[in-house]
Amino acid sequence: MSASAVRDIVVVGGGTAGWMAAAAFVRVLGESCSVRLVESEAIGTVGVGEATVPHIKAFNNLLQIDEADFVRNTQGTFKLGIQFVDWLREGTTYVHGFGTEIGRNLGLLPFHHYWTKAYQRGRARSIGCYSLNTLAAERGRFMVSADDAPAGSPLSNIAYAYHFDAALYARYLRAYAERRGARRTEGLVREVLLDSGSGHVTALRLESGEEIGGDLFIDCSGFRGLLIGEALGTSYEDFSHWLPCDRAWAVPSGNVGSPTPYTRSTARAAGWQWRIPLQNRTGNGYVYCSRHVSDDEAAATLLANLDGPALGDPRPLRFNTGRRSSCWQRNVIALGLSSGFMEPLESTSIHLIQSGISKLLEMFPREGFNPVLARKYNARLAFEFDRIRDFLVLHYYANRRDEPFWKECRHIAITPELREKLELFQDSGQVYRNGEEMFGDVSWIEVMLGQGVMPAGYHPLVDLVPEADVFRFVEGVGKTISNCVDVMPTHQQFIDRFCLAPADSRTRTGAAGSAAVRP
């Protein structure tokens, strides 16, 4: 390939990853590049529901998507966080609530240092009582940030994400992209053509015989990694020694009651079960380790623990958690499952797609493909995958359950980075975000506390505040949070008022599938 400006972008594979990429390219790059997406109806996608994190709002805002229209058309609901049931031990529950702070800071210190002192003295409740997202989730309340709330009010800055039907989201983005000039080609790729000198991909040959050339190729072909793996031979770094779950069953079920404003993750004997509420149905799945439970037992466990009737037969999925050693190789960039897979425990699947797209747009090649761009892109993506991995490992490592699977997880050889996080927090409640890692301090604090990792102490500046004042401060924050939650509408009331899907679409059901796994 000659060193010329990128003009023709070819996306291989549709689904969420492919159509997110196509939509972002036509929105940002406009007429400077052509965007063509190749997919086949013969290769289906699987998706009961998709749980997300608040970062997706930035992506939708980039596309200037109307939120209410998007939620209605994807059978969406809202998400304030993730509820973890039985993860520490059976009978325990906590919520990882979204947001950038717990309670409110006082002086130089974040709230949790004052809370730690009060909690150690028996003068504070669980940390979730001081988080608007956690308390609202538990009470079934939801609203977006209030423009008329006083400055500093917890109601003025509410972090939230969405649950939605992944197939409907892809369809929504497809319509968006095609209206703005993206072209879709139906067909199966039979052969990937490479330049004999540079090794770059020059074209795709379809089963029809048509050849589709391009300058930049985006591999959204799923686990197969048609371009990044099969054609270019990029290696895959396996994370299974840290994250041993390797299979899942997925099935939709009928709704029972109003949808909760949170995703639920329930620990099971050999893994965990997800529950994602949509307007028209509920997505469910059991992620498990095949060394500790048979496929039949896992399927039976899933079906026995649905809130409503199953709307189909469970679908099996197999995976190896990990990532590509390079997501940008020559003139190919892998997005979605072709770039790697992190189990959907913290709903990071779409975020990693979004992150890959945004970093590519930040580092879009001006002329040719300078290796320095690829190296930096790959380093940034590897860092993000690796830090997400450590955050997921924390959930497994810090448990006190009795089953063999969970006992094995307590002996995972954690990375030095994760060990340092744990040791710092256990010493004095210190938490430090590492550069561009996805999860911030609040996320680490909530999950560590929820998993029973308690700090031995707190910052010494706390003791400069009279003890009675510390107790009054913590109590006052709790009352403020509770009062704010009391004025919020219920999740169902908010949906009914602003973004209720048409009645006929809410009665239709879809194919069984996974929250974050697509072939």
Catalytically active residues, by annotation: 79
Decide: helix, strand or coil at residue 358: helix
| SS3 readout for 245-306 | CCEEEEEEECCCCCCCCCEEEEEECCEEEEEEECCCCEEEEEEECCCCCCHHHHHHHHHHCC
Query: Is 189 within any annotated ligand binding site?
Result: yes
Residue 172's nearest CA partner among 34, 81, 312, 59 is: 59
Residue type, 514: S
Query: Is 102 within any annotated ligand binding site?
Result: no
- Do 458 and 474 form a contact (C-beta atoms < 8 A)? no
Burial of 258 (0-12, 13-18, 19+ CB in 10 A): middle
Question: How far is 408 from 397, CA to CA, in rounded Å?
Answer: 9
Q: Given CA atoms 48, 54, 55, 58 in this order, what sign does their dihedral have?
A: positive
Query: Is 17 within any annotated ligand binding site?
Result: yes
* Angle formed at CA 317 by CA 93 and CA 267, multiple of 5 degrees: 15
Question: How far is 517 from 511, CA to CA, in rounded Å?
Answer: 14
By DSSP bridging, strand 93-97 and strand 81-85 are: antiparallel
Question: How far is 177 from 18, CA to CA, in rounded Å?
Answer: 11
Token pair recorded at residue 268: 């099971």
Decide: helix, strand or coil at residue 240: coil
Query: Is 188 within any annotated ligand binding site?
Result: no
Residue type, 25: F
Decide: helix, strand or coil at residue 459: coil
Question: How far is 123 from 99, CA to CA, in rounded Å?
Answer: 24
Q: Where are the beta strands (DSSP E) in 6-89?
A: 8-12, 34-39, 50-51, 77-79, 81-85
Query: Is 408 within any annotated ligand binding site?
Result: no
Question: How far is 24 from 15, CA to CA, in rounded Å?
Answer: 14
The 77-79 sheet, strands edge to edge: 50-51, 161-164, 77-79
Angle between helices 371-397 and 416-428 (to 10 degrees): 50
Query: Is 16 within any annotated ligand binding site?
Result: yes
Angle between helices 15-29 and 349-362 (to 10 degrees): 30
Instruction: Give, in order, the Cα–Cα distances in Å from 451 to each of 53, 142, 169.
Output: 21, 26, 33
Query: Is 140 within any annotated ligand binding site?
Result: no
Count of CB atoms situated within 10 Å of the CB of 32: 11
Count of CB atoms situated within 10 Å of the CB of 260: 24
* Binding site feature residues for FAD: 14-17, 189, 337, 350
Residue ranges at the known binding site for 7-chloro-L-tryptophan: 79
Binding-site residues from annotation for L-tryptophan: 346
Q: Can you say which residues are annotated as belonging to the binding site? A: 14-17, 79, 189, 337, 346, 350
